[in-house]
Chain A
Amino acid sequence: MSETEISPPKFYNKIFEWFCNQDLYFELQGDLLEEFEVNYHQKGIKTANRIYKKEVLKMLRPSVVKKVKTQGQLNNTAMFRNYTLVAFRNLSRNKLFSAINIIGLAISMAVGLLAITFVSEINSYDKFHENRDHIYRIVNTRTNLGQSPQEYATTSLLTGVWLKENSTVFEKVVPVLNGFNGNIKYGENRFSVRGQLVGEDFLDLFTFPLLYGNSQTALKEPNSVVITENFALRVFSKKDVVGEIIQRGRDQFTITGVMQQPPSVSHIKFDAIASLKTYEAKPSRARFFNDWGTMWSSYVYVQLGANSTIEHGQEILDLLAKQENAKQKAYEIKPGLEALTDIFPGSGKYNQMGTVMPKENVNQIVILALIVLFSACFNYSNLSIAKSLKRAKEIGVRKVAGARKNQLFIQFVSEAVIVSVLSLVIAFFLFQLIKPEFLALNSYTSRTTTLDLLPRTYFYFLGFAILIGFLAGALPAILMTRFKTINILKGVTQIGSNHKLNLRKIMIGIQFTLSMGFVIIVTLTQKQYKHALNFDLGYETEKIINIYWEERDITLIKTAFEKIPGIEGVSASNFQHSTGTLNSDIAKNLEGTDSATVYNNYVDTEYLNNMGHRLLAGENFKAEGPTDQMVINETLLSRFKLGNPNEAIGKQLNFYDKNRTIVGVVKDFHYGTIYNQIRPFAFLWDSERYLYHVNVKVTSNDMPGTLAQVENAWNEIYPEYKLNSSFYSEDIKRTYADLSSSAKTFGMLAMVAICISMLGLLGMAVFTTEARIKELTIRKVLGASLSSLLSLLSKSFLTIFVIAACIAIPSTYYMFKNLILKNIEYTIDIGFWELASGSILIIIIALLTITSQTLKAARSNPAKNLRNA
């Protein structure tokens, strides 16, 4: 906390601002603040806050408190009853306009409700921990030699061990190691489990109360595990299971506690947490605890001691970093502290625990919802202003009868509030309809939010509806209260000047700019997504099925699959290319004069053939050959200046602590995604150890039949495990889910924005034709053609559309370039039609809307329109 940021309790601050007499506020509040700051430095934050609160309460005296204005409020209820009555009469008189207003508002409010529920859920993350304000997570910024720094949510367990031994700045230090996942066995049954291994103070630091067991001792011993209520029910069908034993791999764990089901709004999600002591005892896991660089899946949470500040914490971490970074040169790690409340929603760090909603996503959704809402408010304002002439007489009479300006203002605003509350009811149903769609939008929302409605959410909804009503009603209310009584009663038809008309045009213009912008961005995002899917990767992914299998015995699976007819080849690799996973290390030439980061993958001998990689020189891996074989890409070739492909064969590079011989060179291919450029890459040969993915190439015409055979073969080998398979193209699709979900989000909003602006336009078109019906009829009688009437009515709108398009196209183009294409290396070409087609589409729909109204007017019987003059 820096010095300038200290501020007294917000709530009290607000109350004081509310009750204090305006003339005295600056003097008194200034004095209070000044004193608060002195107290803060002399006596600490707690005392300063207490004194401040007391001072504020003592300010409640007649000399300080605002003077309450009292005026005649005798017939208020009667007035409000009258306002409501008039409001409903108006709604039912103009059924079309009321429908447009209510539906438009309802659609956009549904989006607003979604945003409210979403944001309030996201903001409640991790708020249930009692020590939340004092808990921090240690995060690392790691810089590998020759690369840019990257931020990780993880840190090494060494940090935790060291802090516990060498420092008193932190009251509690809790290491957490991700990796209590997979299957557990109880009796003969297997259950999938998700969880972590945690330090003994875990239950003390975080607020996860136990139903059974002692939270002080539950995680003290090795091989103890605490499970959640739901997991206990799933495995044992009862809750009190302390003392039972479950098996995970070769280890047996005793259940020492059953936890009350943790809230879903916790960034640490688990079914079970085991004691980290289990690993401390094992020499094979020693690297986790004593290596500064092993930081990929371990987290350290700390609580600051009562007398230490975050600066003290940072000092001690810097000390440790200095000590450890000096020991080697390959990388440098800078640890830092991140407050618990900043973790979710968070900034884009690597290796987060579970899925963390990025802050930008939350902001994006709020901004988009606001845009749509404003658009709907514009509709209401626009139509009300347009219709205001019809209510001029009412306003005049009210004014003559003694209505004050603010009373009229209240009347019109409360009419808008009535409309928005009616819309809320419809919006609520729409909200329930789009909720599942929204949750399925992307992996962030589906994994982190439930959108369950809490009692307070309903209050937010109501408050929101009233606010929207106020926003929508304020502008027309102000304009209408300004009408001059004398003009109204004289019967002047054009009240006020032309600027109101321009205001209306501006509002329509903004709406159409938004609609066009959304449509253009949908078109472009969709095209980029298609581009990512159909990108020429440089190898084959057609007809490849990937099977994920962690537990080694790859050879067994391979031989079983090879027997199936219709399968052309089976290969195995460490991970799948083009799906976002990357692996790299520093490679050096043998002289040690040159080094570079080289990306790599472990594959077996069949892989290159199976995936259709094109060898430029040398040959494939040989099963009988040495283990140091390596096949490189062209970029690596030129990076280390190894000459032409043929010259490179037989040369060696030091990679992963081993001198490896180049046996082949492949043509450059996209091992990464469209977000990555092609950099030096090497395939490393491996027969078993690192191979987790089996790639099956199916060439038979009977795809379902072959798939069934694959599944049968699998079930023969591993009857107790489910086959985890997918088409390569599906995996790639999943990789670009963020693009497709952006396209979906924008698509949904585009629909909403278009609906609203078309409704608004329809309203305006109806109004214009109604107001000018006599003029149109006379023109028609005098022989005007239909087309000339059409152009007369649509000319002013058309100008607005063209201006809107002129604004929308360049600004959307700019936004797309800078927001969506920001990190993408391989982008689409954007031509005229991608940009213009959306705008043209919207203009056509809009013109159709206007035309329908003009046609209606032009076709009606002239005699009828002219008769009652």
Chain B
Amino acid sequence: MKRINLGEFEEIALLTVLVLGDNAYGVSIKTEINMDGKRSISRGALHTALSRLEDKGFLTSTQGDSIKSRKGMPRRYYQVTNKGKLALQEVREMRDALWQRIPSVRMELNYV
């Protein structure tokens, strides 16, 4: 079986793009990920992840129209490719399979 090369953050980025549908571009992806306050990623870090995903063929991107409020600079919209979707699916299946093999999750008691 070929290995799926998908990091944890990459997975989250990919899922967020899916969640956002047609509206997935830099700022929206970043706000979505940062939303619950649990993470605080910079735009630069996000770019690294997105470009790596594009290199792997999990994402494609298209340039939008130029927007006045951005001094005429266009947005770049991201879409998940079929390959990306398959990869997500596979990661999830692998994870689910593992979860099912665990009898029950039990937190160990810590004595302080």
Binding site for B on A (CB under 8 A): 24, 26-35, 37-38, 54-55, 58-61, 63-64
Q: Which residue of A lies closest to B49 (CB)?
A: A63
Question: Contacts of B45 on A, CB cut-off 8 Å?
Answer: 58, 61
B85 within 8 A of A: no
Minimal beta-carbon separation of A342 from chain B (angstroms):
25
Minimal beta-carbon separation of B86 from chain A (angstroms):
25
Minimal beta-carbon separation of B111 from chain A (angstroms):
41
Question: Contacts of B67 on A, CB cut-off 8 Å?
Answer: 30, 34
B42 touches A54 (CB 8 A): yes
A31 touches B26 (CB 8 A): yes
B73 within 8 A of A: yes
A30 to B73, CA, bound (A): 5
A61 to B46, CA, bound (A): 11
B42 touches A58 (CB 8 A): yes
Known: A30-B75, A31-B25. 18 other contacts (CB 8 A): A26-B74, A27-B26, A27-B63, A27-B75, A29-B73, A30-B26, A31-B26, A32-B43, A33-B70, A34-B70, A34-B75, A37-B69, A59-B47, A60-B44, A63-B48, A63-B51, A64-B47, A64-B48
B19 within 8 A of A: no
For A27, give its contact among B42, B44, B71, B76 (CB under 8 Å).
B76
B47 touches A26 (CB 8 A): no
Minimal beta-carbon separation of A116 from chain B (angstroms):
31
A657 to B56, CA, bound (A): 90
Minimal beta-carbon separation of A573 from chain B (angstroms):
61
Main secondary structure, interface of A, reads helix
A30 touches B70 (CB 8 A): yes
B71 touches A30 (CB 8 A): yes
Question: Contacts of A54 on B, CB cut-off 8 Å?
Answer: 42
A64 touches B75 (CB 8 A): no
Minimal beta-carbon separation of A8 from chain B (angstroms):
11
A61 to B42, CA, bound (A): 11
Minimal beta-carbon separation of B27 from chain A (angstroms):
5
A28 touches B47 (CB 8 A): yes
Minimal beta-carbon separation of A56 from chain B (angstroms):
9
Question: Contacts of B47 on A, CB cut-off 8 Å?
Answer: 24, 28, 59, 61, 63-64
A26 touches B73 (CB 8 A): yes
A440 to B75, CA, bound (A): 56
Give the residue among A31, A58, A61, A63 with the most B Cβ atoms within 10 A: A31
A28 to B25, CA, bound (A): 10
Question: Contacts of B48 on A, CB cut-off 8 Å?
Answer: 61, 63-64
Question: Contacts of A38 on B, CB cut-off 8 Å?
Answer: 27
Give the residue among B25, B30, B44 with the most A Cβ atoms within 10 A: B44
A801 to B42, CA, bound (A): 63
Interface digits, B20-52 against A, CB 8 Å rule (1 contact, 0 not)? 000001110010000000000011110110011
Minimal beta-carbon separation of A19 from chain B (angstroms):
11
Q: Which residue of A lies closest to B52 (CB)?
A: A63
Q: Which residue of A lies closest to B41 (CB)?
A: A58
**What are 28 of the A-B contact pairs (CB < 8 Å)?**
A24-B47, A26-B74, A27-B63, A27-B75, A30-B67, A30-B70, A30-B71, A30-B74, A30-B75, A31-B30, A32-B43, A33-B69, A33-B73, A34-B27, A34-B70, A37-B69, A54-B42, A55-B42, A55-B44, A58-B44, A58-B45, A59-B42, A59-B47, A61-B44, A61-B45, A61-B48, A63-B48, A64-B44
Q: Which residue of B lies closest to A65 (CB)?
A: B44
Minimal beta-carbon separation of A4 from chain B (angstroms):
9
Given A54-B42, A61-B48, A63-B48, CB of A28 within 8 Å of CB of B26: yes
A24 to B47, CA, bound (A): 10
B70 touches A59 (CB 8 A): no
A29 to B27, CA, bound (A): 11
Question: Contacts of A27 on B, CB cut-off 8 Å?
Answer: 26, 63, 73-76
The A-B contact count (CB < 8 A) is: 66
A58 to B41, CA, bound (A): 10
A680 to B81, CA, bound (A): 85
Main secondary structure, interface of B, reads helix
Question: Contacts of A37 on B, CB cut-off 8 Å?
Answer: 69
Q: Which residue of B lies closest to A24 (CB)?
A: B47
Q: Which residue of B lies closest to A27 (CB)?
A: B76
Q: Which residue of A lies closest to B48 (CB)?
A: A63
B71 touches A33 (CB 8 A): yes
Question: Contacts of B43 on A, CB cut-off 8 Å?
Answer: 28, 31-32, 35, 55, 58-59
B44 touches A31 (CB 8 A): no
Question: Contacts of B51 on A, CB cut-off 8 Å?
Answer: 63
A31 touches B71 (CB 8 A): no
Minimal beta-carbon separation of B25 from chain A (angstroms):
7
Give the residue among A29, A33, A38, A60 with the most B Cβ atoms within 10 A: A33
A37 to B42, CA, bound (A): 16
Minimal beta-carbon separation of A513 from chain B (angstroms):
38
Question: Contacts of A33 on B, CB cut-off 8 Å?
Answer: 69-71, 73
Q: Which residue of A lies closest to B51 (CB)?
A: A63
A26 to B75, CA, bound (A): 8
A400 to B25, CA, bound (A): 51
A30 to B64, CA, bound (A): 12
Question: Contacts of A29 on B, CB cut-off 8 Å?
Answer: 73
A333 to B30, CA, bound (A): 52
Q: Which residue of A lies closest to B71 (CB)?
A: A33
Question: Contacts of B26 on A, CB cut-off 8 Å?
Answer: 27-28, 30-31
A34 touches B69 (CB 8 A): yes
Question: Contacts of A61 on B, CB cut-off 8 Å?
Answer: 44-45, 47-48
Q: Which 7 A-B pairs have the closest CB atoms?
A: A30-B73, A31-B26, A58-B42, A30-B70, A59-B44, A58-B44, A27-B76
A58 to B52, CA, bound (A): 17
For B27, give its contact among A35, A60, A63 (CB under 8 Å).
A35
A24 to B50, CA, bound (A): 12
Question: Contacts of A63 on B, CB cut-off 8 Å?
Answer: 47-48, 51-52
Question: Contacts of A28 on B, CB cut-off 8 Å?
Answer: 26, 43, 47
Minimal beta-carbon separation of B62 from chain A (angstroms):
11
Q: Which residue of B lies closest to A60 (CB)?
A: B44
Q: Which residue of B lies closest to A56 (CB)?
A: B44
A29 to B69, CA, bound (A): 12
A63 to B42, CA, bound (A): 13
Q: Which residue of A lies closest to B42 (CB)?
A: A58
A324 to B26, CA, bound (A): 54
For B75, give its contact among A31, A32, A59 (CB under 8 Å).
A31
CB within 8 Å of A: which of B57-86?
Answer: 63, 67, 69-71, 73-76
Give the residue among A38, A55, A58 with the most B Cβ atoms within 10 A: A58
Minimal beta-carbon separation of B38 from chain A (angstroms):
18
Question: Contacts of B63 on A, CB cut-off 8 Å?
Answer: 27
Give the residue among B43, B48, B63 with the most A Cβ atoms within 10 A: B43
Minimal beta-carbon separation of A36 from chain B (angstroms):
10
Minimal beta-carbon separation of B44 from chain A (angstroms):
4
A29 to B76, CA, bound (A): 11
Question: Contacts of A64 on B, CB cut-off 8 Å?
Answer: 44, 47-48
A54 to B25, CA, bound (A): 20
Question: Contacts of B74 on A, CB cut-off 8 Å?
Answer: 26-27, 30
Question: Contacts of B75 on A, CB cut-off 8 Å?
Answer: 27, 30-31, 34
Give the residue among B51, B71, B74 with the most A Cβ atoms within 10 A: B71
A184 to B30, CA, bound (A): 69
Minimal beta-carbon separation of B29 from chain A (angstroms):
9
Question: Contacts of A60 on B, CB cut-off 8 Å?
Answer: 44
Question: Contacts of A30 on B, CB cut-off 8 Å?
Answer: 26, 67, 70-71, 73-75
A32 to B69, CA, bound (A): 11
Question: Contacts of B30 on A, CB cut-off 8 Å?
Answer: 31, 35
Give the residue among A29, A30, A54, A59 with the most B Cβ atoms within 10 A: A30
Minimal beta-carbon separation of A6 from chain B (angstroms):
10
Minimal beta-carbon separation of A619 from chain B (angstroms):
74
